[in-house]
Structure 1
Amino acid sequence: MQTTELSLDTFLSRFQLLRPQVNNASLNQRQAAVLVPIVRRPEPGLLLTQRSAQLRKHAGQVAFPGGAVDDTDASLIAAALREAQEEVAIPPEAVDVIGVLPPVDSVTGFQVTPVVGIIPPNLHYHASQDEVAAVFEMPLAEALRLGRYHPLDIHRRGNSHRVWLSWYQHYFVWGMTAGIIRELALQIGFKP
């Protein structure tokens, strides 16, 4: 599969110049946040996890590190950083937060805010055995290639909504995670 190179400088300038329109209208009141970790490399990567098969919700799914906002979290960004540390041992001080994407409503009743951050390439990830089965990296240029995402319209409780599906190696990337990556691709206008 051929991809066009995407340098970190190009990604950062596009992300900073083309700020997302944040719409706070949400069906969900409970707050959550995920970290969208971009690995600082000449050809940047996107760090993802595969959730443990033992979890009650979203077992085995590919996801970003994240979760519900706690009373101790000072902000949505703080929640995303805390969860990334708990799930894959990314130290909060190692993350250069560059911004947030518009919140997304989850089917589990949360308004999820994606926090985009740059992380160093030499971190040693230590997955929480209770929550994370695997940690892997996808080349950012490949992750942001819109053609890799395929729509599926789902009808649930009288409502219709679209989810996005994709494969990377043996990982099935879909739902909210695929939607967030696709939103990031649209946000920066990357066209490989």
Structure 2
Amino acid sequence: MADQTLTLDNFLSRFQLLRPSPPAAPANQRAAAVLVPIVRRPVPGLLLTQRSPRLRKHAGQVAFPGGSMDSSDASLIAAALREAEEEVAIPPERVEVVGVLPPVDSVTGFRVTPVVGIIPPDLHYHASEDEVSAVFEMPLAEALRLGRYHPLDIWRRGDAHRVWLSWYQHYFVWGMTAGIIRELALQIGQDS
């Protein structure tokens, strides 16, 4: 795909050919989900948030809207949509869910399912002041450029873990968020 322009149609055709089946909630881990919102534009964007610096966990980190599954959520997809509405006021009915990525295990004991959805360009985001300090958009083609992610191997409890790092403007994108974006790029066969 390096020689093609990344349009939403190109992305969707690649993603739909390769998307995995929706996972069931794990029995022995806490279930969570994030929305990976792709903004429907001629040049599509990837919507990201920066978590509030006042939060106890992951303060100030770049993230996707999301969180743990509640007993009221019918599915992990419903959890991602509910959290996106709570955090940045994305109405669930305005999200076209196109699939999910494989779940990712967090260092905090959650199994996080990334839910990929297309959102319209005319949404007015209203960040929850308690949870989100900024909402920003990165061009999808730039976000999915594999060459922008740099590995860092760290040791945790005697095991080696690879963490991915990247910058976009003044935002430091790393950890699970960078790993999810990189996984999406690998899944659709994005180059460099």
Please give the TM-score of this superposition, normalised by the length of structure 2: 0.94
> 3-state DSSP class of the match of 1:34?
strand
Mark the runs of 5 or more structure 2 residues left unpaired by the alignment. Answer: none
- Cα deviation 1:120-150 (Å, max 9, x = unaligned): 0000000000000000000000000000000
Partner amino acid, structure 1, of 2:152: L
Question: How far, CA to CA, are the matches of 1:41 and 1:11 in structure 2?
Answer: 12
Q: Which amino acid aligns with 2:46?
A: L
1:10-55 deviation per Cα after TM superposition (whole angstroms, max 9, x unaligned) = 000000012248888x896100000000000001000000000000
2:51–2:132 Cα contact (<8 Å) kept: yes
Q: What's the RMSD between the two structures over aligned residues?
A: 2.1
* Whole-Å separation in 2 of the counterparts to 1:35 and 1:68: 12
Distance 1:175 1:28, change over 3 A: farther
Q: How does 1:137-152 map to 2 (within 5 A)?
A: 137-152=137-152
Kindly indicate whether the alpha-carbon contact (under 8 Å) linking 1:146 and 1:182 is maintained by their aligned counterparts in 2: yes
**In 1, distance between residues paired with 2:158 and 2:184?**
29
Taking the TM superposition and a 5 Å limit, the aligned residue runs for 1:1-192 are: 5-20=5-20, 29-191=29-191
Which sections of structure 1, spanning at least 5 residues, go unmatched? Answer: none
Using the aligned pairs only, state the percent identity: 83
Corresponding residue pairs, total: 191
- 8 A Cα contact 1:22 1:103, kept in partner: no
Asked if structure 2 preserves the Cα contact closer than 8 Å seen for 1:90 and 1:123, the reply is: yes
Which structure 1 residue ranges, 4+ long, deviate > 6 Å from structure 2? Answer: 21-24
CA drift of 1:115 comes to 0.2
Separation in 2, partners of 1:186, 1:28: 28
Residue type of the partner of 1:103? Answer: P
